[in-house]
Amino acid sequence: MESNPRRTAALPLLSSTGMKRSNYEPPLLRLLWRLGVDARPPHFASFGVNALVSGIFFGSVWGISMWLFLWRQQAAPVVVSLFSSFLAGLLFGIAMATHYVYGRRKYKLPSWHSLRAEAAGA
């Protein structure tokens, strides 16, 4: 797979910060890259994209798990289950997006667009 020059510049930069690889290269993102999706590392993605992706993934997995293991046996109303899954996904998505914004500021990471200039100059 051909790598994006910005991603090629971003990954060593993220690694040099000392954060864990699983933080800047989550397993879901690595899977997307293997499937050919050219997604940004989360510290370089926008707040909205991080919130949406994290929230949808978490809300779906959490909701399905809760339905299979708890709500189905309790005969919980579907509307309540869907709303609970949506709310859990929303809160988790906002929390994860905030975490990545904090990391971007803490490590003084450049913008995604400036990486292109750095990658071209290298």
For residue range 92-118, what is the model confidence (pLDDT) as tens digits? 999 999 999 999 999 999 999 998 655
Do residues 97 and 78 make contact, with C-beta atoms less than 8 angstroms apart? no
pLDDT digits 0-9 by tens, 57-101: 999 999 999 999 999 999 999 999 999 999 999 999 999 999 999
Tokens linked to 10: 């971003």
User: At residue 100, what is the residue type?
Assistant: Y
Model pTM score: 0.86
Nearest Cα to Cα of residue 19 among 94, 109, 97: 109
Average pLDDT over residues 18-31: 93
Angle at CA 103, nearest 5°, toward 86 and 9? 110
Using CA atoms, how far apart are residues 35 and 68, in angstroms rounded to an integer?
A: 29
